[in-house]
Structure 1
């Protein structure tokens, strides 16, 4: 069993916060005066899902909620809705990581695609129920596709630049006991 203070965990958490800060600063910079034709990807969400699948112990729930809630406020989304959906999606991915250990990249991409699609559909349904104005369906689908397109790049950067690799396991565990 690991100690309560593992320096590698805290270094990775600081790296995560630095990455999120850099992505948010770039996203908020007025780099163009014209409106973008294709919505950009949600890089922070890709980082969250990639890291939770590889090292579920690095990103605690409170850190994920805090980061995505700050994003909600900065991007003027309904506060808490996307945060809740990201929390549920990341916990589904965390459970998958604990259940299977290292997942083949094709299976991982399929799981992430299904999770992101479910999150997008749930957001549209909940906003429709609340009668909140929504972006165009085509814009939201382009955003989903651009997020899925950037996910493999984020995974490669996470593994090779940040060193977020799955922790070696000594076999499956149930309730902390080796099976």
Structure 2
């Protein structure tokens, strides 16, 4: 196995480990009282950041498995949030070549718009299925907190884990230009 393939599989393993770490801390009973604030969705921010910067690190089956695990662990309707995140991730991946040449601010706006759209779709489907989607204000706060934390997630991904955008002219492991 060549070093490029090893790096890709290593980053995929790192992605799974970070996911498990995020879920672990999300499930810790740090404060048993109900909160007025919703924490940011670090998992979605990480999935989107990695999908925009290095789509080969987050293949569709990996994102699907991770998001289904998160649905089960966080007691959300299984599959609903997962399918929305997977569809949004694949859409962001399809725009990766165009995003490569834009500024971070436009990437952030794209992330924010995508997150808002999938959150609205999630709440709409929950209402159609006559399920309680939760308080609107908590969803709004969670979306705003996730949008606000996105630059930090990108920064940590870049500076600590080395997840950077592929530059024009970079080669994939088969020698094709990206």
| C-alpha separation in 2, matches of 1:105 and 1:34 | 37
> How far is 1:167 from its partner?
2.2
Q: Is the 8 A contact 2:52 2:99 kept in 1?
A: no
Residue 87 of structure 2 aligns with which residue?
88
What SS does the aligned partner of 1:36 have? coil
Alpha carbons of structure 1 residues 88 and 127: separation in structure 2 relative to 1, 3 Å: same
Tell which deviates more after alignment, 111-120 or 124-133.
124-133
> How far is 1:33 from its partner?
2.0
1:107-139: per-residue Cα shift (whole Å, max 9, x none)? 001000000000010011111111111101111
Number of equivalences: 172
Residue 44 of structure 1 aligns with which residue?
43
> How far is 1:103 from its partner?
2.8
The answer for unaligned runs of 5 or more in structure 1 is 172-176
Using the size of structure 2 for normalisation, the TM-score is: 0.91
> How far is 1:146 from its partner?
0.8
Pairwise CA RMSD: 1.9
Using the size of structure 1 for normalisation, the TM-score is: 0.90
1:80-128: per-residue Cα shift (whole Å, max 9, x none)? 0000100111111101113442431100010000000000100111111
| C-alpha separation in 2, matches of 1:115 and 1:168 | 23
| C-alpha separation in 2, matches of 1:163 and 1:19 | 14
Q: After the TM superposition, which segments of 4 or more aligned residues of structure 1 sit over 6 Å from their partners?
A: none
Residue 174 of structure 1 aligns with which residue?
none
Instruction: Within 5 Å, give how 1:97-176 maps onto structure 2.
Output: 97-170=96-169
Q: Is the 8 A contact 1:54 1:102 kept in 2?
A: no
| C-alpha separation in 1, matches of 2:126 and 2:12 | 32
Residue 29 of structure 2 aligns with which residue?
30
| C-alpha separation in 1, matches of 2:3 and 2:80 | 32
| C-alpha separation in 2, matches of 1:95 and 1:73 | 28
Residue 7 of structure 1 aligns with which residue?
6
> How far is 1:5 from its partner?
6.5
> How far is 1:58 from its partner?
1.0
Tell which deviates more after alignment, 90-99 or 17-26.
90-99
Residue 20 of structure 1 aligns with which residue?
19
| C-alpha separation in 2, matches of 1:131 and 1:34 | 27
